Structure 1
Amino acid sequence: AAAIAAVRGAAAVPELVEFMKNATGQTDQEAVKSALMSVSGNKEIALLKPVLKDGSSIARKTAIELMAWNKGNEYFREVLPFASSPEEPVRTAAVKALSSLAGPADQNDLINLLTSVQDKAYIADLQTALASAATAVEDKSSRSDVILRAFKNSTAKERLIPVLATTGGKDALDLVLNEFELGNPDMRDICFKTLTSWGDYTASSALYEIVASRNKTFEDQAFRGYIRQVRTAPITDEQKLLLYKKILPFALSADRKNEIITQLGRLKTYQALFLAGTFLDDPETSSAAASAAMVIALPSAESSTGMYGNIVREILTKTAQKLTGPESEYNKEMVVKYLASMPSDEGFKSMFNGKDLTGWQGLVENPIVRSKMRRVDLERRQEEANLMVPANWSVRDGCIWFNGNGSNLCSVQEYGDFEMLVDWKITKDGDSGIYLRGTPQVQIWDTSRTDVGAQVGSGGLYNNQIHPSKPLKVADNPVGEWNTFRIVMVGEKVSVWLNGELVVDNVTMENYWDRKIPIFPKGAIELQAHGTDLAFRDIYVREISDKEFNLTAEEKTEGFVSLFNGRNLDNWVGNTQSYVVEDGMIVIKPENGSGGNLYTAREFSDFVFRFEFMLTPAANNGLGIRTPLEGDAAYVGMELQILDNDADVYAKLQPYQYHGSVYGVIPARRGFLNPLGQWNYQEVYVRGTHIKITLNGTVILDGDIAGPRDNGTMDGNDHPGLKNTTGLIGFLGHGSVVKFRNIRVKDLSL
């Protein structure tokens, strides 16, 4: 058979089918099946139909197996009758084949067969076939519909329920839960196994309820099933952490606590680290907590940076003492080494100690009114407001609770630029928010309140009128469940992540109290009181200094600092009239002449300088390095060209005058600028006499100025600045509009 197939290919199929039809031995059947599989497609498989009608029992079995291998739904009707064949080999082959052949339209036939089959050995295969047919329905929300309709009048409901674990859906889950609650012991067992094998994590809520009910029969398995479903769920780390926190009160044994702690080690979030750190002092959980903390905080294989801050340092210092196991000494060494290299920044600090309202106070008017009050009057009003707080705000179970009456709760400390982490929970019809710098607000509300537009979701900058006020997506958890915000505010710009999903992307927050002026540079963080019960917990804040504006985590670890804070020209000198700050950028707007130069306030010798720039047509600028404040930077220092290379006006320049060149000294490669109107990313590496420039990921210059310095330059001019070992860095205006942003430097001389 193999030889015939090899020589004649598909043309041999009729002969092979005839041979199969008459062959009586298993060896011959296997040989012809293998040969047919090597040359057959849909057209050839159709030639097997006569075998089902006239072939021997063993030939029918082979034909059915080949149809299953082909997976053609058109053969389902051909094979289905043989699932009731009196011949056991044929019947078994047919039952097993149905899962490969069934489509959505075949569900009722499979349900009838499943509920009536006498041989229990076939039940699992028929359930698999039914699940396969149902999951072929394109609309995921409808995949259980046929089964649910059949369930109502079925006399074998216990056979249908396990299939729902694969087809899923809210209605299916509700049905399984109802049967679990009301069914007999056998049905409860079937329903419970279905819940623990549910195809997605939506059944975790049902498993949680079983755990919370303290059902001794199912509690332990439900707990482990819950953890397993959350672990494998395709959701954000932030969402997983909320679900682990939810089940944590029922982790009454050390084994359960350690199971949760182990899962925390899979989540690369600060909140997961802080939670793991709370278990370091318990001898029964300290080892698992130390392992989890190490994995969370230290750089992963995909990243060169880890977490930092005083709380992180405290946790890792304790972690190094608690690590156990065969690799503990190696792990301790890694932790100690990382601690030695960790940035010294304060990082996140807790705004809420979980016990009382230390660090919080009552609300007195709004920032504008407060700014006009006499100090003595403000202090008196603050004392009065503080006396009102306990009637409305309280602490219990590690949470700040609001009872629906009274005014906002305000941080005592004021914040400028910051990153905030906070969990929150509202009740039905809830409405709240978080004020930033005393200004409303990052919105929180019950998304079912369509009458007020809440269907857009929480997280938006509700009071904006000019800039976007609505979130990018709905990412809320159901009312009564915890949610978590990550809020980053730098200058006027705010970004918000809700449950790990970006819902506000660097949007200007308007000043609600006076829309004619920008939002205040500093102010309190306020938890809004808006007439409904709500709660907050796990509140952390990290103040962002000018030195880390827009730095990546990797850059912070590597020692970069920001030279531009996105708001003003602090720490810059020179022409601060033509160079202006707009929307987080430095923009040169020359009116007459060149527009002048803008320099860093301090000098640099060896460094890595990174920045982004956007050119306008025929734009000409430059990056001065190791230059003094006075004189032509191209000569008394060095000028690295910033130029629209493709402009016609520059068609006849010398090679050393194009973008990236050390002007007059070393030419750069051309052809790597992005189109006009797009941002370019450039890195300048300077150490000693070595200069390397990388533009949009490509090295366009890698040279040494020692030769030109000592032997003469390409342009034949005197460049005394080549001898400089230190100087300012600056943008050199040549009469063109150019935009700059994300300006940072790493000092290599430190």
Structure 2
Amino acid sequence: MMRRAAMAMALLAAFVLLTIPSGAASEETGWAELFNGKDLSGWTAMNEGKFEVRDKLLCVGGGTGWLRSDQLYDDFVLEFEVRPLKDNFDSGVFFRAGLGGKPWPEKNYCVNLRSNQWGALLADGERLTKTKQAAAPVGQWTKWVLTVEGKKGSLLMDGKTVWETDELEPGRGLVGIQAENSEFEFRNIRIKEVGHLNLLTGEAPTGSHFTTIVGAKGVWTLRPDGVLECRNKPGQATGGWIGTKTDDWANFDLKLEFNVPPDGNSGVFIRRPIKGDGAYEGMEIQVIDDDAKVFGKLQPWQHCGSIYREVVPAVRATRKAGTWQSMEIVADKNIVRVCINGVEIVNADLDKYTTATTRAKALKDRPRQGYIGLQNHGSGIEYRNIRVKRLPD
């Protein structure tokens, strides 16, 4: 957060509506592209698998390992197209996968893409459902639709049901593509999360928007490409924040992507009131360039993903500034968890933080509901794909 003295002067109580230009929402709302056809942004290669982008295709070139998403998912619809390039092929698509294990995740579900088990469902490597589906010929594209919600799951290939099950274990995990000494190509990979509300487009169920702006005016812009950009003009006062229309956000799963510039600084406010300093009256999850020199040596509680001034990240999971990264914040009663790029870095029980300071109450005594907001710290910041799902009280 790195407060400047001028910031207090900038927190003026000005409220306006964020204008959303036409074209900001996709024609089919709720879908997010997992593969952009240009590079492996949003993915992390694990172990010895070979992955590259060629001719707008995600190519699996052999080796043993997997390519994992930088975001965790629980309930979703996943679409992808795939084709094998050589005989006796073997690959798979993981879901609800963990990070541990080598060469593949130890805990996972997997849509098997092996030539003699085409489309079968595996659980931790063991077959959960059988399939009579004939494998696609080498070089032929097939389209798959995987639907996962709670204990239930189903798989379609080219519009035909491959399997249905009610034996899944509910939970969150990573999506991934397996490399197992075979060559494959993937394209048109996209996902729609079940139950999440897009705060930028106001998609179902409530039609809410990110519309409350406090502080400097005219700095927040929602571009036609769906990116929420904060840029201060030269000489313009910095400070303030943009937030949800309502302050009833108590227990939720918040997901977003951020692009912080070199030496950049911002933050995600949770459970904050309309007045006061969000980092102390509510909570701020820090968004910052961890390698910035302009701030001097950062304290551990200032690093990206920290609960500012209170909870230190267990590990560093950030990447170089100027690249898109993912963040997930789960606020569930007294528990707050933070993941960056698919890695959990904070898991805090607020009830155990009992020490107050001259500026702030102890975490255990801070509000358990309020606004969700994004901080304008003056350095510029970009956010996109901001989604939230309410959790049970």
Amino acid at match of 1:618: D
1:728 to 371, 376, 392: 371
Counterpart of 1:711 in structure 2 is 355
Counterpart of 1:580 in structure 2 is 221
Rounded Cα–Cα distance in structure 1 between residues aligned with 2:238 and 2:366: 26
Larger radius of gyration: 1
Q: Does 1:235 align with 2:140?
A: yes
Q: Indicate the SS of the match to 1:631.
A: coil
1:561 to 197, 213, 218: 197
Q: Indicate the SS of the match to 1:656.
A: helix
Rounded Cα–Cα distance in structure 2 between residues aligned with 1:656 and 1:600: 26
Once the two structures are superposed, residues 343-377 of structure 1 have per-residue CA deviations (whole angstroms, 9 ceiling, x without a partner) of xxxxxxxxxxxxxxxxxxxxxxxxxxxxxxxxxxx
Q: How far has the Cα of 1:669 moved from its partner?
A: 3.8
- Output aligned runs, 1:89-100, within 5 Å: none
- Output aligned runs, 1:202-213, within 5 Å: none
Q: How far has the Cα of 1:698 moved from its partner?
A: 1.8
Rounded Cα–Cα distance in structure 1 between residues aligned with 2:171 and 2:308: 35
Q: How far has the Cα of 1:651 moved from its partner?
A: 2.8
Cα pair distance change 1:580/1:674, threshold 3 Å: same
Rounded Cα–Cα distance in structure 1 between residues aligned with 2:170 and 2:332: 26
Q: How far has the Cα of 1:560 moved from its partner?
A: 2.0
Rounded Cα–Cα distance in structure 2 between residues aligned with 1:231 and 1:301: 26
Counterpart of 2:299 in structure 1 is 654
Q: How far has the Cα of 1:675 moved from its partner?
A: 0.9
- Tell me the percent identity: 27
* Contact 1:573/1:599 (8 A) holds in 2: yes
Q: Does 1:597 align with 2:241?
A: yes
Counterpart of 2:127 in structure 1 is none
Q: RMSD across aligned C-alpha pairs, in angstroms? A: 3.7
Once the two structures are superposed, residues 653-687 of structure 1 have per-residue CA deviations (whole angstroms, 9 ceiling, x without a partner) of 33222221111221224532111221111111111
Q: How far has the Cα of 1:639 moved from its partner?
A: 1.0
* Contact 1:580/1:586 (8 A) holds in 2: yes
- Output aligned runs, 1:137-286, within 5 Å: 232=137, 234-237=139-142, 267-269=156-158, 272-273=159-160
Rounded Cα–Cα distance in structure 2 between residues aligned with 1:564 and 1:737: 18
1:692 to 315, 327, 337: 337
- Output aligned runs, 1:74-85, within 5 Å: none
Amino acid at match of 1:565: T
Amino acid at match of 1:268: M
* Contact 2:263/2:289 (8 A) holds in 1: yes
- Output aligned runs, 1:218-367, within 5 Å: 232=137, 234-237=139-142, 267-269=156-158, 272-273=159-160, 293=161, 295=162
Q: How far has the Cα of 1:632 moved from its partner?
A: 1.0
Any unmatched runs of 5+ in structure 2? 1-132, 145-153, 173-185
Q: Indicate the SS of the match to 1:630.
A: coil
Rounded Cα–Cα distance in structure 1 between residues aligned with 2:286 and 2:318: 12
Q: How far has the Cα of 1:695 moved from its partner?
A: 0.9
Amino acid at match of 2:229: V
Once the two structures are superposed, residues 625-644 of structure 1 have per-residue CA deviations (whole angstroms, 9 ceiling, x without a partner) of 10112221111111111111
Counterpart of 1:642 in structure 2 is 287
Q: How far has the Cα of 1:739 moved from its partner?
A: 0.5
Counterpart of 2:328 in structure 1 is 683
* Contact 2:199/2:208 (8 A) holds in 1: no
Any unmatched runs of 5+ in structure 1? 1-227, 240-264, 274-292, 306-499, 506-549
* Contact 1:563/1:571 (8 A) holds in 2: yes
Counterpart of 2:60 in structure 1 is none
Rounded Cα–Cα distance in structure 2 between residues aligned with 1:561 and 1:608: 10
Amino acid at match of 1:730: G
* Contact 1:566/1:585 (8 A) holds in 2: no
Counterpart of 2:387 in structure 1 is 744
Once the two structures are superposed, residues 663-720 of structure 1 have per-residue CA deviations (whole angstroms, 9 ceiling, x without a partner) of 1221224532111221111111111221111111222212222233x3335xx53237
* Contact 1:685/1:693 (8 A) holds in 2: yes
* Contact 2:196/2:389 (8 A) holds in 1: yes
Rounded Cα–Cα distance in structure 2 between residues aligned with 1:238 and 1:646: 42
Rounded Cα–Cα distance in structure 2 between residues aligned with 1:594 and 1:569: 26
* Contact 1:690/1:703 (8 A) holds in 2: yes
Rounded Cα–Cα distance in structure 1 between residues aligned with 2:334 and 2:169: 34
Q: How far has the Cα of 1:622 moved from its partner?
A: 0.8
TM-score normalised by length of structure 1: 0.28
Cα pair distance change 1:645/1:268, threshold 3 Å: same
More contact order relative to length (CA 8 Å, sep ≥ 6): 2
Cα pair distance change 1:702/1:687, threshold 3 Å: same
Q: Which has the higher strand share?
A: 2
Rounded Cα–Cα distance in structure 1 between residues aligned with 2:296 and 2:226: 33
Q: How far has the Cα of 1:608 moved from its partner?
A: 1.2
Q: Indicate the SS of the match to 1:648.
A: coil
- Output aligned runs, 1:110-129, within 5 Å: none
